[in-house]
Amino acid sequence: MKASLQLRFSQHLALTPQLQQSIRLLQLSTLELNQEIEQLLIDNPLLERTDHALDRMVQLDAQGAITNLTPSGIVAPEDLFAHGGDASHFPDGPEASPELRPGARSDLGHDLAPGAGTTNSSDEGAAQTPNALDNPVDLGLDWGADRRARDDDDEDRERPQGAGSQTSLEAHLLQQLRASRAGPRDAALVEILIGELDSNGWLTTPVETLFADLLERLQTLRGPLLGAVAAAPGPTLSGTAGSGGRHGTADGTGDGDGTDNEIAARQQRADCAALLALTMRFAPPAWAPRNALQLDALVGELLGERPAQTSAGALELEELQTALSLLRSFDPAGVGAGDLAQCLSLQLQRLPRRQWPSVDGWEAACTIVDKHLPLLAARDWPRIKKALGLKDGVEDDTTLRDAQALIRSLQPIPSASFEREDAAYVVPDVVVRRHRNDWIATLNPDVMPRLRVNDLYARILRRSKGASGLATQLQEARWLVKNVQQRFDTILRVAQAIVERQRGFFTHGEVAMRPLVLREIAEVLGLHESTVSRVTTQKYMLTPTGTFELKYFFGSHVATDTGGAASSTAIRALIKQLIAAEDPHQPLSDSRLADLLGEQGIVVARRTVAKYRESLRIPAVAQRKAL
């Protein structure tokens, strides 16, 4: 071994902090971008945001009408296509929009290059963004898309109202329980059953199991009470269950030094308090125990270990079954059922006779729900007819159709009208409009944050030449302003490139979608394929036919008999159209669908058709066949 010294030259890619931030911002969604900006606003005092999140929203007035809080000069997204998608009908269309006029001035204080605000099919090349670091004050200090007139003097502008509160299924059932004539003991048992309902409103746990669990809980909570009775034959509940409230606190809090004995004493007080609260739900208030011995005696009566000396008596399984019957009589119909079949059966039993299509139809529906529900799900009509004793005739077919219609009118999930989830709304990043004979992509101004560097701090730092120690934060603020602008410029370029290659989709719909891959867009714009992938992830485009993620416009291709290629999205649309137009009595099989696609020049296998059909959530041919 010999020690030596060598000199080598090599090149490697080093990501600067500015480039790392640009990549990170590019892959964020609109919501994540705003969260990132809010955090940076907290960390960097030189950065400020001049727009307000609530200034461009809607509110519900006293008459129930929706009032748009968007300042004048901007068309709401739902009004973009009121005239067939032609933006020339709007006063703020492309002719009046400063983004579409060459030489228009942006908030940066410089002329916009072609494509900086928007691009169309005739634009060539990428937008040239000026260097915001050349001038710390005049350039790069203010960027955004809020070019609308604001009424800064209107401080009393109304804010949108929040969503109204919605009654839950549990609250709805408890309200009916309080309005019923059930006694305290039955009401307590019904309340226990309500707490055991699942998210569908079903009671999937057997009543016998619930009854055993109730007795076991009483026995478990009784253990600490027996220990307290053995230690002191006549302890009061105030010393056993803690002080405070009617009979003591239920949380077991108290004074102590935190030793093991004190912790055990706190747990004992908590268990006794829980036991007291549970037992008093089944005993009248006149028999409220005053000490641990009386509470233990009451628990013994509920468990059936002691003769009844109060009006409580031992808990019986029949009581819980009676409580379940009371619960199943509440609204909505089918609540408290053990499974789907029982839920539908309960609804059929409570259905008024005037709503029956026919007596035979109602009886057939009850039989199908009780015994042949899997056959109905499989639409196995011959076996259902055989099980019901029906024959191939007009009258029997009418009976079966009435039974099917009656079952379809039922609600399989009783809690559906109560446990509704909040709708997740998507805010588009890009809006596509028709301008004359062309389609133009523009950025949605409502998702573009208006950022700037504090001018006062910038001037102070310029005079002090960075001596105050905030020069680093000033540079980071400029980077953020520039990177946010570059993010939206890249999104716009990619969106316009997609629009140019998918003109058929915007004109004719999904059937005209053409195959497109990320590499094709990357080569046209001079970007890396990974950059295009980041741009198209969680970024959305508003079109006349709906809002779509940018990745939606990319898809695989299938060869045609002419040597061309068809998009998988277009094939799905064709399959959907063919199935929608089929005869419900003779639905099209996957093989027949493949043959029909072959007649249109699209060579596709039967298993491929089955895969596309399943992705559209369309059932198989046997389940689509009608009576």
Q: How many residues are there in the chain?
A: 627
Q: What is the pLDDT of residue 18?
A: 81
Q: Is residue 21 part of a domain?
A: yes
Give the residue-averaged pLDDT of 435-442. Answer: 90
Whether 316 and 186 share a structural domain: yes
pLDDT digits (tens, 9 = 90+) for 233-257: 444 444 444 433 334 443 444 444 4
Q: What is the pLDDT of residue 431?
A: 94
Residue 57 pLDDT greater than 90, yes or no: no
Whether 56 and 177 share a structural domain: no
Instruction: Report residue 24 CA to chain centroid gap.
Output: 25
Give the residue-averaged pLDDT of 491-507. Answer: 92
- Whole-number Å distance between alpha carbons of 57 and 160: 7
Q: Is residue 118 part of a domain?
A: no
Whether 177 and 277 share a structural domain: yes
Whether 253 and 181 share a structural domain: yes
Q: Is residue 487 part of a domain?
A: yes
Q: Residue 543 — pLDDT band, cuts 50, 70, 90?
A: very high
| Structure tokens, 237 | 């509940």
The set of residues, in sequence order, having a beta carbon less than 8 Å from that of 139 and lying 6+ positions away, is: 108, 109, 110, 130, 131, 132, 133
Last-in-domain residue among 389, 417, 445: 417
Domain count, the chain: 4
Whether 184 and 294 share a structural domain: yes
Q: What is the pLDDT of residue 302?
A: 65
Whether 177 and 280 share a structural domain: yes
Residue with the larger pLDDT of the pair 447 and 303 = 447
Whether 237 and 322 share a structural domain: yes
User: What percent of the chain shows pLDDT beyond 90?
Assistant: 18
Going 603 to 608 to 612 to 614, the CA torsion angle's sign is positive
Give the residue-averaged pLDDT of 25-44. Answer: 89
Distance set, CA 156 to CA 70, 149, 557 (Å)? 15, 17, 56
Q: What is the pLDDT of residue 325?
A: 92
Residue 598 pLDDT greater than 50, yes or no: yes
Residue 537 pLDDT greater than 80, yes or no: yes
| Structure tokens, 167 | 């009654």
Q: Is residue 523 part of a domain?
A: yes
The domain spanning residue 593 has which CATH number? 1.10.10.60
CB 165 within 8 A of CB 130: no
- Candidates 120, 116, 111; CA nearest to 87 is 120
Residue with the larger pLDDT of the pair 146 and 366 = 366
Q: Comparing 148-157, 163-172, 353-362, which segment has the lowest mean pLDDT?
A: 148-157
Q: Is residue 127 part of a domain?
A: no
CB 402 within 8 A of CB 360: yes
Q: What is the pLDDT of residue 118?
A: 42
- The radius of gyration of the chain's CA atoms, rounded to the nearest angstrom, is 36
Last-in-domain residue among 417, 435, 454: 417
Residue with the larger pLDDT of the pair 401 and 82 = 401
Give the residue-averaged pLDDT of 389-399. Answer: 84
| Structure tokens, 15 | 């990501």
Whether 195 and 323 share a structural domain: yes
Residue 343 pLDDT greater than 90, yes or no: yes
Whether 347 and 471 share a structural domain: no
Residues 26, 446, 143, CA angle at the centre, nearest 5°?
65
Whether 356 and 374 share a structural domain: yes
Residue 232 pLDDT greater than 60, yes or no: no
Q: What is the pLDDT of residue 542?
A: 93
One-character DSSP codes across 364-398: HHHHHHHH-HHHHHTT-HHHHHHHHT--SSHHHHH
Residue 396 pLDDT greater than 70, yes or no: yes
Whether 315 and 380 share a structural domain: no
Q: What is the pLDDT of residue 129?
A: 39
Q: What is the mean pLDDT of the chain?
A: 74
Q: Is residue 510 part of a domain?
A: yes
Residue 75 pLDDT greater than 50, yes or no: no
Q: What is the pLDDT of residue 141?
A: 40
Give the residue-averaged pLDDT of 357-384. Answer: 88
Last-in-domain residue among 417, 449, 476: 417
Residue 280 pLDDT greater than 80, yes or no: no
Q: Is residue 6 part of a domain?
A: no
Whether 181 and 250 share a structural domain: yes
Residue with the larger pLDDT of the pair 333 and 119 = 333
Give the residue-averaged pLDDT of 374-388. Answer: 87
- Whole-number Å distance between alpha carbons of 224 and 560: 79
- Candidates 177, 171, 185; CA nearest to 320 is 185
- Candidates 175, 207, 201, 204; CA nearest to 325 is 207
Give the residue-averaged pLDDT of 521-546. Answer: 92
Q: Is residue 35 part of a domain?
A: yes
Q: What is the pLDDT of residue 271?
A: 59
Give the domain range for residue 576.
Answer: 556-624
Q: What is the pLDDT of residue 65?
A: 57
Residue 136 pLDDT greater than 60, yes or no: no
Q: Residue 52 — pLDDT band, cuts 50, 70, 90?
A: low
- Whole-number Å distance between alpha carbons of 83 and 427: 22
- Candidates 2, 6, 25; CA nearest to 486 is 25
Residue with the larger pLDDT of the pair 29 and 290 = 29
